[in-house]
Chains A and B, each alone.
Chain A
Amino acid sequence: MSATAAPEQKKGQVSAVSPRRRALRPYLLVLPSLLLTIGILYPFGLGVFYTFFDYAATKPNPDFIGFQNYVSIFTSSDFWQSAWVTLRYAVGATLVETVLGVGIALLLFRGSAAGRVLEKVLIVPLMIAPVIATIMWSLMLQPSVGVINYLLGPFGLGGVEWTDSPRGALLSAIFIDVWIFTPFVALLALAGLRSLPRDPFEAAAVDGAGYWFTFRKLTLPMLWPYILVAVIFRFMDSLKMFDVIYALTRGGPGDSMMVLQVRGYQEAILYTNFSVGLTYTIVIWAAVFIATRLLVGIFGRAQARAAGP
């Protein structure tokens, strides 16, 4: 075989890519994302468009009404009541889940045999659909036949009507949310703890630093970005929570648990006031978007602090 002869293509060797295919490759790579984006943005844009009409089952040929749906919502006391309970629910659930989740992660990080078993068991609530978990808890919280009051009975605490008062309903819903989603925070914090560098902790131990000092000065600052990621996800999710609240109280007692998602669902699906329901949904989207931007800003600063100068 001469040195100038064209080399034969060996088995398994990658053939040269033609310029045409090479030029096409970037577009093919982005195509799935593009389709997904269109799949999200088209109904979203359509939804925003509908909010400027008085579209309802009883008004199938709607009129353009500009921002009237938004004005009606923002001037309605129902909206502000819903916004307030949504905020209380989201802040309460996120706060408790974060504190509990980080605490559980710290306990599991010690690496005991019990911890390793608990780590596996911990994800069970995450594997149950929230609506099913809520129905299950709703039965357990039922005052006359529920197991919770049965267990509390011997201590003189039975007979609690858990969801009959606005405060009881809110706390019960937050409790169920906490039961379902605390493991998510715990697992995220645990992953964060395991990724922290060991050197600073070894240096602190050599210097004789105590547990609380190490926790406050090393663990927490370095773990903070991971905690914030969990907070961002949980807060976003809690702001648009529907299944737990609807399955537990349908928004009651009275209007006390009518969070924005439940009100939007009720308007759009139960009352077939499509434009009004969609306006609620767009407002929720805006609230989630703004909250997320703020939290991501905080996250960026925390990350910079954790990285050090």
Chain B
Amino acid sequence: MEEQRSLDEAALSAQISRAQFLKKMGMGAAALSGAQLLASCGAFGGAGGGASSGQGANDISGPFDWQREKGKTISLLLNKHPYTDALLADLNSFKEKTGINVEHDIFPEENYFDKVTLDLSSGQANYDAFMLGAYMVWQYGPPGWLEDLNPWIENKSATNSDYDWEDLLPNLRAADQWSFHVGDPLGTGGQWALPWGFETNTIAYQSDVFDKLGLKPAETLDELVDLAATLNDKAEGMYGIAVRGTRSWATIHPGFMTMYSRMGAKDYEVQGDSLTPAMDSETSIAFHDKWMKMVRDSGPPSWTQYTWYQVSSDLGARKAAMIFDADIASYFQNQPGAAPAAGKIAWHPGPKGPGGSLATNLWVWSLGMNAKSTNKSAAWLFLQWATGKEHLRKAAVEADHVDPVRKSIAEDPAFKDRMAKNKGYLDTFNQVIDSTAIQFTPQPKFFDTTTSWAANLQDIYRGADAKGALDGLASDLKSKVA
């Protein structure tokens, strides 16, 4: 007992002072702050490896059978989106057709791609298939995180005979195809994802306001700048034009990149396998000057906070007289009861470039397969069902999966009837569709370089000289893409 007492006393006497305690707390907190990112980055083996796992396309033989993987379970990672809602509403059809069980996680777009990046970089097969955009292929593909789907498409034992690969719009197929060699165009190399739903970028406007003021949509960039200013002055309670403005790559890719391309400007000059930033060209500087003047004079207040959500919401709320953004963003605002502007929105391709160019950038929601998936055959059945005619037609006609990736659905009378209720939507779609393609030069540093570009736009918005800012940007990006 004596020994025990002395131990207890020793323990009590070993109290640390408050100052020592705080020092240790400080060290602990600092260590924790450092550990935040570490835990999420995984080990070298996680991000690397490139090697595909699980059964491959060549392992599938015999006649095609939807029930081939009956009883298996696949896991999906999805972004919250009307296309996703349409998919989930029809998911039982897939389960009944294949006997495959489907589990899924849905995340909002704000942090969806962080989740995808972390999951893929961990090297685990937590998800067999997931949503991604074409730009993500350039980032996720080179480390070997994506399964090349070409062997699956080409294997008649793995792919049903009604799939009709050629029915998918060619520019959309090409958007998800790349060799991963800088300098090579899209449409070469592996097929890293399947186009599932897309958006083209056009002008959407308050048709009743245009009618009342006797205005017509602009046919040139100069006209667009003037029209936005006129609407800013004359459209009651509205500002001229809404476009995106946050410090994000997503600011560059919709209306901005569309008009930039129509004006004949390029992001990079390609010489062999090297890229030279071309944002400092005369054409680019002149375009930036005009675009930013339009935003400053006739754009939304607090433009630097504007994402697709604010842009489309302002159109729906009749705060913006027109927007230059994804066509489907305004489509959702035009549906009965969706917003005060519902039924009054109309569409127009937007200004043409010199020579009549209607080059339009696109965003394509695609479905990809995790290269580490251990359920590839089941995941492939899901991918071909989700991008197949049966589901996509149902989703386009009965749900809100508009801007169909398949030519047969775009031309389907039931789909056309439905879309005819949206003034100018189909005409606009048909006018721009052949010129709608990824207008960026593919390269793995897309997010880094394009976010810098957006930060540069914000500087110009605040008054920086466009030439000086773009010279600096081009110089900065030169080392990044070297």
Q: Is B130 an interface residue (CB 8 A)?
A: no
Contact A40–B23 (Cβ < 8 Å) = no
A186 touches B (CB below 8 Å): no
The residue in B32, B34, B48, B444 that gathers the most chain A C-beta atoms within 10 A of its C-beta is B34
Instruction: Convert B428-464 into 0s and 1s, putting 1 for each residue whose CB lies closer than 8 angstroms to a CB of A.
Output: 0000000000000000110110010001101101100
Q: Are B23 and A296 in contact (CB under 8 A)?
A: yes
Q: What would 24 A/B residue contacts be, using CB atoms closer than 8 Å? A: A44-B38, A47-B34, A47-B35, A47-B37, A47-B38, A58-B444, A60-B48, A60-B50, A161-B301, A164-B461, A252-B247, A253-B458, A254-B455, A254-B456, A269-B117, A270-B117, A270-B448, A271-B445, A281-B33, A281-B37, A288-B29, A289-B30, A296-B19, A299-B22
Q: How far is the CA of A272 from the CA of B140 in the complex (A)?
A: 10
Interface, chain A (partner B; CB < 8 A): 22, 40-41, 43-44, 46-47, 50, 53, 55-58, 60-62, 138, 142-145, 159, 161-166, 229, 232, 236, 240, 249-255, 264-266, 268-274, 277-278, 281-282, 284-285, 288-289, 292-293, 295-296, 299-300, 303
Q: Does B283 contact A (CB under 8 A)?
A: no
* Chain A residue contacts of B4, Cβ below 8 A: 22
Do A289 and B451 touch (CB < 8 A)?
no
Chain A interface, >50% SS class = helix
CA of A270 to CA of B450 in the docked complex: distance in angstroms?
12
Expressed in whole angstroms, the Cα–Cα distance for A229 and B23 within the complex equals 11
Give the most central of A60, A229, A288, A296: most B CB within 10 Å: A60
User: Could you tell me the distance in whole angstroms from the C-beta of B184 to the nearest C-beta in chain A?
Assistant: 16
Report whether A254 and B26 are in contact in the complex, using a CB–CB cutoff of 8 Å.
no
How many residues of B are in contact with the other chain, CB < 8 A?
A: 60
- Whether the Cβ atoms of B458 and A240 lie closer than 8 Å is no
Give the nearest-CB partner of A48 in chain B.
B34
Give every chain A residue within 8 A of B461 (Cβ-Cβ).
164, 253
Q: Determine whether the beta carbon of B246 is less than 8 Å from that of A43.
A: no
Contact B301 A40 (CB under 8 A): no
Q: Does B374 contact A (CB under 8 A)?
A: no
| Contact in complex: B38, A250 (CB < 8 Å) | no
The answer to whether B49 has its CB under 8 Å from any CB of chain A is: yes
User: How far, in Å, is B58 (CB) from chain A's closest CB?
Assistant: 25
B304 and A274 within 8 A (CB): no
CA distance A274 to B44 in the complex (A): 10
Q: Is B189 an interface residue (CB 8 A)?
A: no
Among B26, B27, B33, B44, the residue within 8 A (CB) of A240 is B33
Chain A hits for B456, CB < 8 A:
254
- Is B30 in contact with A255, judged by CB distance below 8 angstroms? no
The residue in chain B whose Cβ has the minimal distance to the Cβ of A273 is B448
Query: A284 to B262, alpha carbons, bound, how many Å?
Result: 44
Q: Is the CB of B27 within 8 A of A164?
A: no
Chain B proximity of A243: nearest CB distance (Å): 12
A292 and B41 form a contact (CB under 8 A):
no
With A60-B47, A270-B447, A278-B38 known as contacts, the answer to whether A288 contacts B455 (CB < 8 A) is: no
Chain A residues with CB below 8 A from B44, complex form: 53, 55, 60-62
Which of A55, A62, A250 gathers most chain B CB within 10 Å?
A250
Task: Let me know if B35 and A57 touch, CB within 8 A.
Answer: no
Minimal Cβ-Cβ distance residue in A for B449 = A271
- Distance from B202 Cβ to chain A, minimum over Cβ atoms (Å): 24
Judge whether A40 and B22 touch: CB under 8 Å.
no
Contact A249 B41 (CB under 8 A): no
Residues of B within 8 A of A292 (CB): 23, 26-27, 29-30
